[in-house]
Amino acid sequence: MNKKKKALIAVVLILVLLAGGAGAWYFLGNKSSGNAVYIMPVSSFVDFGMGVANRFSGVVEAQQTVDYQLDTSKTLKETFVKEGDSVKIGDPLFSYDTDSINLDIAQKKLDIQREQASITSNNELIAVTTDDLYRQQLRNENLQTEYRIKALRNELNSLEISLQNAYVTSSVEGTVKYVSDGTGTSNVYISVMKTGDFVIKGKVNEMNISQLSQGTKVVIKSRVDNTTWDGFVSRIDTGQTAQTEGEYYYGMDSGNQSSKYYFYVDLNSSSGLFLGQHVIVELADSSGKSGLWLYEGYIEDADSKDPYVWADNKGKITKKHIKLGNYDEEIGSWEILEGLSINDYIAFPDGTIKEGQKTTTEYVYNEPEIDEEVYYGA
């Protein structure tokens, strides 16, 4: 083999090795860089029950509606209002037919008189008879009659109360919202919407419901500007599920269904709000100011002078330094004073994140590889 041929073969071998090395570097380099870091918006933690779990969605509604049902044992006589009418406390809404009630009252009185006459007659017989067995029989009859008289008097008392309540009056000041036309299945005949300030109807899932209780102070925030209103939770309706939907944690389907419930907020002032307006409900601290709180598991070096979270920066993961405030040991969360907002995207520090890795909002769950022979014991 001449020198030129050997040189050509050598050059070819070098090129092959270089190409293979470049391919190996490309493959291993990509692999060593790891998968893209999964990030989530801070605002979404409200629904997931993690991190900023003190924000809830709400809508402005009218004050409570008071329902007035028909007493099916009575006959409706007259209705004094129609839908849209304004009523004050004590205004009559509808009345019952008292003629039948008066007849029933008269009949009960006659029944009581008849039973009392029976006792009087038996007592006269007891006074003149010498038969001890007969005397005891009459006394037993009197005891039974006295029991019937007691029952009749209770019924008479109920009828007299019904007569007094023949007119059903409004217990609140408001507007007549509904008058039944008799075709519905409900016993509600008239509904009156109470006049007054608005209330906020919020929604909380079962993961966060423990953070709310009657009397909890909250701050209502507008979704379009910085306007706020103060209030407190007046009622939590756990008897009716508001909405059921799948919840996710760390981007993984938990496999469970999270029920949601309605709660209601009474406002110190509703000036500037309008019916149907969508708002944000935030828990307030003891000073009455709301804040941003983050679960401690997301924060690195929380005990140092330079704590940070892993946050997205134009598609790359980077350290975002933050300033911490108070620490809530009960829920394991830090108050975030500076450096983080609900619009940021952050990642959970699992120990594998490196500065500069690509970020993604699409979670991919990789099943662990299993050695079938070892797993099945083969």
- Using one digit for the tens of pLDDT, what is the confidence trace for 233-284? 988 887 666 644 433 333 333 334 557 888 999 888 888 888 889 998 888 7
Q: Are 268 and 287 in contact (CB under 8 A)?
A: no
- Per-residue pLDDT at 123 exceeds 50: yes
Q: Provide the pLDDT for residue 46.
A: 43
pTM above 0.85, yes or no: no
- The proportion of the chain whose per-residue pLDDT surpasses 70, expressed as a percent, equals 76
Query: How far is it, in rounded angstroms, from Cα 68 to Cα 191?
Result: 6
Question: Can you give the residue ranges of every domain in the chain?
Answer: 37-43+292-360, 55-62+203-283, 68-169
Q: Provide the pLDDT for residue 360.
A: 92
Q: What are phi and psi of 121, to 5 degrees?
A: -65, -45
Q: Provide the pLDDT for residue 330.
A: 58
* Residues 6 or more apart in contact with residue 341 via CB below 8 angstroms: 42, 292
Task: Count CB neighbours of 17 within 10 A.
Answer: 10
Q: How many CA atoms lie within 13 A of 110 on its CB side?
A: 6
- Per-residue pLDDT band at 10 (split at 50, 70, 90): very low
* Complete DSSP assignment for 142-171: HHHHHHHHHHHHHHHHHHHHHHHTSEEE-S
Q: What are phi and psi of 257, to 5 degrees?
A: -100, 130
Query: How far is it, in rounded angstroms, from Cα 233 to Cα 54?
Result: 13
- Per-residue pLDDT band at 205 (split at 50, 70, 90): confident
CATH 1.10.10.10 at 37-43+292-360, yes or no: no
- Per-residue pLDDT band at 114 (split at 50, 70, 90): very high
- The proportion of the chain whose per-residue pLDDT surpasses 90, expressed as a percent, equals 35
- Per-residue pLDDT at 160 exceeds 80: yes
Q: Tell me the range of 61-65, 78-82, 101-105 where mean pLDDT is highest.
A: 78-82
**Residue 201: alpha-carbon gap to chain centroid:** 9
Q: Tell me the range of 30-34, 91-95, 179-183, 224-228 where mean pLDDT is highest.
A: 91-95
Choice among 15-29, 79-93, 218-232 with the minimum mean pLDDT:
15-29
Q: Tell me the range of 86-90, 290-294, 323-327, 366-370 where mean pLDDT is highest.
A: 86-90
Longest CA span, the chain:
158
Average pLDDT of every residue of the chain? 78
More confident residue, 207 or 40: 40
**Residue 103: alpha-carbon gap to chain centroid:** 50
Choose among 176, 211, 165: nearest CA to 70.
165
Choose among 80, 82, 73, 78: nearest CA to 96.
78
More confident residue, 140 or 163: 140
Q: Check for a shared fold between 37-43+292-360 and 55-62+203-283.
A: no
| Sheet containing strand 86-87, strands side by side | 65-69, 188-194, 174-179, 86-87
- Per-residue pLDDT at 109 exceeds 70: yes
**157-183: average pLDDT:** 86
Query: How far is it, in rounded angstroms, from Cα 367 to Cα 378?
Result: 21
CATH number for 55-62+203-283: choose from 2.40.30, 2.30.30, 3.40.50, 3.30.70.
Answer: 2.40.30
